[in-house]
Structure 1
Amino acid sequence: MNPSTRRCFLKGGAVAGATTLVAAPAIAQSMPELKWRLTSSFPKSLDTIYGTAQTFAKYVAEATDNKFQIQTFAAGELVPGLQALDAVSVASVEMAQTPLYFYIGKEPALAYATGVPFGMNHRHQESWWAFGGGAELCNEALKPFKTHAILCGNSGTQMGGWFRKEIKTVDDLKGLKFRIAGMGGHVLARLGIVPQQLAGGDVYAALEKGSIDAAEFVGPYDDEKLGFYKVAKYYYFPGWWEGGAMLHMIVNDEKWNGLPKQYQAILNQAGSAAGAWMLEKYDSVNPAALKRLVANGAELKAFPQPVMEACYKATQDHLNELSEKSELFKKTRESHDAYMKELLFYTQIAENYYDNYLLSKMRKGG
């Protein structure tokens, strides 16, 4: 579905879903005029992630004949990038665009709202969110913060980050100061890494000054924009700490509950449409960006198998400990893992075999 068609669907679908008895012009006339503020956890330079927030706001405006306007602000303009959830919780802004795993120190189960180490890929995650109980579980985790999550985007599987030195063995991780968000940092700490959680706009300066030794962010397109290849040579893959990173629009509960049902429907549909735009954009721009990075001197490397195995074991140990401490975490993990098992059973038969066959042909020049 192209963007123009998607916007038409968004507008028509929201109106049609609201009622079949009232004509669209009457609905538009009866809806209140609202102006909200949206704070993002990302800088404007990241035109795909931050652009998703702008696209979301654009779709909402178009679907409401500009009656519902959402003004977007980059990280730091209103609120620091890592405090977006706090700002929505206390209603200093109506909503935020943020990865919820930034806040696992407040509630560990929120890790599953974005992505956990060795977890599901983007398609599997979003299926779990919509049909496997993921939305209900993650919104249960948000209740103490008086907020509601709307799914709005996914990065796909990410890269493993930029390192000043090669990672050949597990011992090479010890003492490494690594910018990494979410639960991956907690897992790597078990292997000797010193995790650093920094907002996207602060990473380059820290890497350049040497206050960190390595950094992961998203993937080639964003990493190129942030310039990491200029200050760290080795580019590792995969970003196993999240099979795909879901992003959300977080809305203050009181503001959400006060919306007309039509506006709630429009926000949900705008989230789906803008989220699709985000992933489509990344699929379009990442391949060429990766080629440019390699041409500019980046050395592309896979994490060695022994390192992957050590990380997988450390992940399971960490998840087991959290499951023992939190019933909500345990319940969310069991739901996630059972769903992942079913989907992997199917995709190995269908898509994985097909993709691997085409890759073999490509490598042979066929």
Structure 2
Amino acid sequence: MKRIPASRQSADATLGRRDVLRTAGAGLAAGVATVGLAAPAIAQNAPQVRWRLTSSVPKVLDAIFGANELVSKYVSEATEGRFVIQNYAAGEIVPGLQALDAVQNGTVEVAQTPLYYYLGKDPSFACFTTMPFGLNARQQNAWFYHGGGRELQDEFLAKYNLVGFLGGNTGTQMGGWFRREVKELSDFKGLKFRIGGIAGQVVAKLGVVPQQIAPGDIYAALEKGTIDACEWVGPYDDEKLGFVRVAPYYYYPGWWDGGPTMNVVVNRAKWNDLPKAYQAIFEAAVAYANADMLAKYDAYNPAALRRLVAAGAQLKPFPQSFLDAAWAASNELVAEIGAKNAGFKKIMDSLIAFRNEEYLWWQVGEYPYDGYMIRARSRG
């Protein structure tokens, strides 16, 4: 038997992600040159599809917006240019906070947007992005893919003519930028704070005045003093938006964004019109972008944090009194909403039960390991 060189075996055994995606769509064009197959039948199975995607973020936030570019790249390559998705930043087609509406009414086919922006329609939207004191990034993925989260999301979004996917995660976020130092719970009363999602309702219980402002407008509001504080993402993105120049106190942790998902939503009718192979390619591309976004933030945040501190950022932990009050207010709010909204209660019951089981494992495995490694690092 002829021996195959090890290098050849390795090359043959390795299949890049581009090839995996392309393989998913290979059946669309297969057989064009095969004798006996009619070209028109093949053409019907491989239609030309042009979609538009609108995002809720500006292009300068490249770790988030870049996920759209990855999806477009792999979808196009896997279909030999037959399925093309053109990307638009917030404001180019519709304002960032109207991205979901644009998909729902058919203005565009797909959007990249945090679903918690739309809790005014139904607070259940927030559950599929992140909840205060909710799941971290890994747990969010686990709940969606293997803990019943996807089924709950499908059931919920069907009412809005939407299909949803996990399109990325930033990991645990920072608590935000403050123009003045906050040392006690009382310091938060009357504070005008740009904070997204259902967390705004939590801090309102503590006397904070929450503000919902699109990403591109946050800096101007902070600079002018229209708001006293803002939260966005974390060091890598916050550095790009320049918050350190106008609000030097940088607080942590972002207890309302333990593992926030950047959701991808597709018009359900447009989704159903896609060939199954195109659906598979799109979903595979979005899944890759989901993993890639978190990897980017994990890779880029440390150096960005060092640069921000060098530029004058003063790192501060939130006062324990604030964290404890927020925990109590969050649980109270979830119970209040659940008493009025059976769908919300159903989703949160699933999420909370999953969170409790996950932290059983984190307590034994993940946290002791990370805690030791952090201490070891500090000892040099």
**Superposed pair shares fold, TM > 0.5:** yes
Contact preservation (8 Å) 2:25, 2:79: no
- Give the 3-state SS of the residue equivalent to 1:249 in structure 2: strand
16, 22, 41: which one aligns with 1:11:
22
Q: Does 1:111 align with 2:120?
A: no
Cα shift at 1:24: 9.8
User: CA, structure 1 residues 28+166, in 2 after alignment: closer, same or farther (shift >3 Å)?
Assistant: farther
User: CA, structure 1 residues 215+24, in 2 after alignment: closer, same or farther (shift >3 Å)?
Assistant: farther
Cα shift at 1:28: 8.2
- Give the 3-state SS of the residue equivalent to 2:264 in structure 1: strand
Q: Which runs of 5+ in 1 are unaligned?
A: none
Aligned to 2:242: 227
**How many equivalent residue pairs?**
359
Aligned partners of 2:32, 2:293: CA distance in 1, in Å? 29
Contact preservation (8 Å) 2:143, 2:149: yes
Contact preservation (8 Å) 1:84, 1:98: yes
Q: Does 1:33 align with 2:48?
A: yes
Contact preservation (8 Å) 1:28, 1:64: no
Deviation per residue, 1:60-84 (Å, 9 max, x gap): 1111111100000000000000000
User: CA, structure 1 residues 271+118, in 2 after alignment: closer, same or farther (shift >3 Å)?
Assistant: same
- Give the 3-state SS of the residue equivalent to 2:128 in structure 1: helix
Aligned to 1:273: 288
Aligned partners of 2:361, 2:306: CA distance in 1, in Å? 32
208, 219, 223: which one aligns with 1:204:
219
Mean Cα deviation higher: 129-138 or 327-336: 129-138
With normalisation by structure 1, the TM-score equals 0.95
Aligned partners of 1:361, 1:250: CA distance in 2, in Å? 43
Aligned to 2:9: none
Contact preservation (8 Å) 2:55, 2:111: yes
Cα shift at 1:5: 2.5
Cα shift at 1:216: 0.3
Which has the greater radius of gyration?
A: 2
Cα shift at 1:25: 8.4
Aligned to 2:12: none
Cα shift at 1:235: 0.2
- Give the 3-state SS of the residue equivalent to 2:167 in structure 1: strand
Mean Cα deviation higher: 348-357 or 321-330: 348-357
Aligned partners of 1:275, 1:42: CA distance in 2, in Å? 16
Mean Cα deviation higher: 52-61 or 138-147: 138-147
- Give the 3-state SS of the residue equivalent to 1:70 in structure 2: strand
Aligned to 2:258: 243
- Give the 3-state SS of the residue equivalent to 1:316 in structure 2: helix
Contact preservation (8 Å) 1:15, 1:24: no
Aligned-partner residue type, residue 300 of structure 1: L
Aligned partners of 1:25, 1:230: CA distance in 2, in Å? 62
User: CA, structure 1 residues 223+74, in 2 after alignment: closer, same or farther (shift >3 Å)?
Assistant: same
Deviation per residue, 1:28-72 (Å, 9 max, x gap): 853111111000000011111111111111111111111100000
Aligned-partner residue type, residue 187 of structure 2: D
Contact preservation (8 Å) 2:168, 2:290: yes
Aligned partners of 2:223, 2:25: CA distance in 1, in Å? 51
Aligned to 2:304: 289
Aligned to 1:44: 59
User: CA, structure 1 residues 104+262, in 2 after alignment: closer, same or farther (shift >3 Å)?
Assistant: same
